[in-house]
């Protein structure tokens, strides 16, 4: 029997890897794994991801670096390279597919995922990071990243290469439709699943690029959408430290602080945001909400009045002004959460 090789495939002797799979000491990081009884493989769309999995296998004692009889190898579909040198694995072509089998066995019967067409093969094209400059990222479909070749005008299917640009853009696209302000009901169902997945991708990106402030902003917005304000707070704090001149980080951080009851911190942050944009009626309106919830009624009145001087017909600040006056006159209680703001 034989198995298909797709992208960058980690191929192991099944008898050696199966015990680790059975007791979950090894957990495949994707669903691109199969076996033919003799060999087991898990495929990846990038060499880096495949090598990371090789290291996990080596960490449990499997040999993936020394031939001629290694426990596992890394097979490159595009170059047909096998590393390390291995005498127990054979490669060949079946129409447009690349297949592998245990040396000495009959490769006639092919094991593949449902829907695999040997006349098409994996359908993947290889581009390394040195020649991505002529490609423009478009979208992700399933586990495939799609780029536009700017020279030919063709769409290029590169696989889930996990390039930082693609990872960031696709995560932002998933989170942006679910932007919320603190206090709004969190997303649920499929929307929550989509946001959770995007936040997980951004967390991995931030782990690799800890100074990526924009990733922290969208990750924080994702956590707000999920109603996880403590996690959002941590990301906005870091983003604000990295990019203190960007008012957006301070604005979002101030809102999260209010929801967490950190009123004094919210005041300091709101005043900083207003200092960055002193003529912005929205920023001044936000500051008046912060003052109101912190119990500084007179400061709230002054801030919303300043906002209305800039834009007298702003409906939001007009309503906010009425709310602050009703609290000042004792007609309604002081709001303690954004949920208390009508």
pLDDT (tens digit, 9 = 90+) per residue, 59-116?
999 999 998 999 999 999 888 899 999 999 999 988 888 999 999 999 888 888 877 7
Instruction: Note the pLDDT tens digit of each residue in 317-326.
Output: 999 999 999 9
- Region 279-296: what's the mean pLDDT? 92
Q: Which residue has the higher pLDDT, 135 or 194?
A: 194
Q: What are phi and psi of 52, to 5 degrees?
A: -65, -35
pLDDT band at 124 (very low <50, low <70, confident <90, very high): low
Q: What is the mean pLDDT of residues 259-264?
A: 92
Q: How far is CA 137 from the centre of its chain?
A: 16
Cβ proximity of 225 and 186 under 8 Å:
yes
Q: Nearest 10 degrees: CA dihedral of 93, 97, 103, 107?
A: -90
Residue partners of 142: CB distance under 8 A and separation at least 6: none
Tokens of 256: 């999260």
Query: For 70, phi and psi rounded to 5 degrees?
Result: -70, 165
Query: Burial of 166 by CB count in 10 Å (0-12 exposed, 13-18 middle, 19+ buried)?
Result: buried
Ranges of each domain in the chain: 2-111, 129-161, 166-340
The Cα angle at residue 252 between residues 251 and 257, in degrees rounded to 5? 100
Q: How far is CA 226 from CA 166, 192, 195, 198, 261, in A?
A: 23, 7, 8, 11, 18
Give the angle subtended at the CA of 69 by the CAs of 67 and 74, to the nearest 5°: 65
Beta strand spans in 103-191 (E): 110-111, 135-141, 144-149, 155-157
Q: Which of 265, 254, 179 shows the shortest CA–CA distance to 223?
A: 179
Contacting residues for 154 by C-beta, under 8 A, at least 6 apart: 148
Beta bridge partners, 83, equal: 74
User: For a pLDDT cut of 90, what percent of the chain falls above it?
Assistant: 56
pLDDT class for 161, splitting at 50, 70, 90?
A: very low
Homologous superfamily assigned to 166-340: Tetratricopeptide repeat domain (1.25.40.10)
**CA-angle at 71, arms to 65 and 75, nearest 5°:** 65
């Amino acid at each position: 029997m034989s198995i298909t090789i797709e992208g960058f495939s980690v191929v192991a002797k099944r008898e050696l890897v199966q015990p680790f799979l059975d007791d979950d000491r090894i957990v495949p990081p994707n669903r691109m794994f199969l076996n033919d009884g003799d060999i087991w493989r898990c495929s990846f769309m990038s060499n880096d991801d495949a090598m990371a999995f090789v290291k996990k296998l080596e960490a449990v004692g499997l040999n993936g670096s020394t031939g001629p009889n290694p426990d596992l190898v890394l097979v490159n579909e595009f170059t047909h390279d096998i590393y390390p040198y291995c005498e127990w694995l054979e490669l060949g072509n079946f129409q447009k597919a690349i297949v592998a089998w245990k040396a000495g066995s009959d490769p006639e019967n092919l094991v593949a995922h449902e829907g695999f067409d040997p006349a098409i093969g994996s359908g993947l094209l290889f581009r390394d990071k040195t020649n991505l400059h002529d490609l423009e990222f478009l979208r992700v479909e399933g586990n495939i990243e799609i780029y536009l070749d700017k020279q030919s005008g063709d769409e290029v299917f590169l696989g889930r290469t996990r390039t930082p640009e693609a990872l960031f853009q696709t995560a932002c696209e998933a989170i942006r439709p679910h932007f919320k302000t603190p206090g709004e009901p969190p997303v649920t169902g499929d929307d929550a699943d989509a946001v959770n997945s995007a936040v997980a991708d951004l967390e991995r990106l931030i782990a690799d690029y800890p100074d990526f402030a924009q990733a922290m902003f969208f990750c924080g917005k994702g956590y707000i959408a999920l109603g996880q304000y403590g996690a959002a707070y941590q990301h906005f704090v870091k983003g604000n430290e990295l990019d203190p001149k960007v008012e957006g980080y301070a604005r979002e951080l101030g809102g999260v602080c209010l929801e967490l009851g950190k009123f004094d911190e919210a005041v300091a942050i709101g005043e900083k945001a207003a200092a960055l944009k002193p003529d912005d009626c929205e920023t001044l309106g936000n500051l008046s909400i912060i003052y109101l919830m912190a119990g500084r009624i007179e400061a709230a009145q002054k801030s919303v009045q300043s906002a209305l001087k800039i834009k007298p017909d702003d409906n939001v600040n007009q309503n906010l002004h009425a709310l602050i006056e009703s609290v000042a006159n004792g007609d309604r209680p002081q709001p303690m959460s954004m949920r208390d703001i009508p």
